[in-house]
Amino acid sequence: MSPDLSTTFTDIRFENPFLLSSAPPTESESNILRAFEAGWGGVVTKTIGLHPVVNVAGPKTKFLRAHAGGPLSMNKGRDGVLHSSWNWELISDKPLDWWVPRLGRIKKAFPNRALIVSIMAGSGSDKELANWQALARACQEQGADGLELNLSCPHMDREDMGSNIGKDQKLCSRVTQVVKEVARVPVWAKLTPSTTDIVMEAGAVFAGGGDAVVSSNTYPSLPLIDADTLEFEMNVDGLVSPGGLGGPAILPQSLAKMAQMTRAFPEKAFSGIGGISEFSHALNYFLLGCGTVQVCTAAMLDHAVGPAVIKGLLQGMTAFLEKNAHRGWKGLGDFRGLRRDRVVSHSQIRRPEDSGYHGGYEAYEGYAKPAEKR
């Protein structure tokens, strides 16, 4: 009998735990249909909003590669080893009215695939908070299986949007609560890694009634400066603003953020993002406690929606379960979270037996020295 790759996450059934994340691969109806045809278990749409969106002139995304004997660069050819992706793309520039009929058609075409709709609005007034509800209602009426709240876009100038919400515990909780008031489907919140303690924001999302936390969005960063031209490798009229770093470079950082949250909330649901291109990468997130994972950069470089990537992920998970069949493992639930408890504070890592290290503190405090060991 073949291993069962299906999973149930926040009461949504997925044919497999591999999703395309909210990004350029999911910006159109045609791309999403091709993604489902390729075998992705779920898709999170490009973020939909109610405010006008206009992207920068020129390229919105580039890929940073390491070249043998040369520089780390976006502009030195495609023969190098992929290091990361860099983008300063905003949310969908298509209005809600454009998306609504397309969401309905996608669900009719693939009724058994999970369609998660990413939404974003402001938080600076009751009107802005009501916009979250308007978006939620419109999308779930078209058959969306779940909603993902974009609390993490790193490119928003507005103080009440994107990652500026994700850095504020009160706003994380409030926005989640507002959407949950009208949602008939599960609500996920996608958080920014650009925060002091992501556990606090995750806790705020769950306090607001959120069903899952998604992490991480891209890391705020700048493109490199070309040593010959002294210009940023990606710019418009010579100017640049911070954008988001994704891809292989952020895998270890994203895992660290995820481990913090899954250890703090072991019974809660998490979807992992960051640097996944093969099953061994996804396995890290599963072993730390994630119930699904999401992919972007690798898919962008594979015919936009990653047909070869999802094929490799499915083959990798099947082989992994077959290899571990002797353990009684039949699906994701049998090994999810298996290594979560191996992540500990630095002072818990073993020192040489004769070390006098006490976690950076004095060996004893108070008036009396501890009794000598015999």
Other C-beta atoms lying within 10 Å of the C-beta of residue 68:
7
Tell me whether residue 170 is exposed, middle or buried, using C-beta atoms within 10 angstroms of its C-beta: 0 to 12, 13 to 18, 19 or more. Answer: exposed
67 phi-psi bin (left φ>0, alpha ψ -120 to 50, beta other): beta
Residues forming a β-bridge with 72: 66
Instruction: Judge whether 269 and 212 are in contact, CB under 8 Å.
Output: yes
Other C-beta atoms lying within 10 Å of the C-beta of residue 35:
25
Residues forming a β-bridge with 293: 18, 272
**Cβ neighbours of residue 246 under 8 Å, at least 6 residues apart?**
84, 85, 86, 87, 218, 219, 274, 275, 296, 297
**Of these residues, 139, 153, 290, 296, which one is catalytic?**
153
Instruction: Judge whether 33 and 310 are in contact, CB under 8 Å.
Output: no
* DSSP result, 288-317: HT-SEEEE-HHHHTTTTT-HHHHHHHHHHH
> Which token pair is 361?
């503190």
- The amino acid at residue 67 is H
- Catalytic-residue membership of 153: yes
Burial code (b: 16+ CB inside 10 Å, e: under 16) for 355-366 equals: eeeeeeeeeeee
Distance CA 261, CA 211 (A): 14
Task: Spell out the alpha helix ranges (H) of 17-125.
Answer: 29-38, 96-109
**Cβ neighbours of residue 152 under 8 Å, at least 6 residues apart?**
162, 163, 166, 190, 191, 192, 216, 217
Other C-beta atoms lying within 10 Å of the C-beta of residue 321:
20
CA distance readout (Å), 185 to 117, 143, 179, 211: 11, 9, 10, 10
The catalytic site residues sit at 153
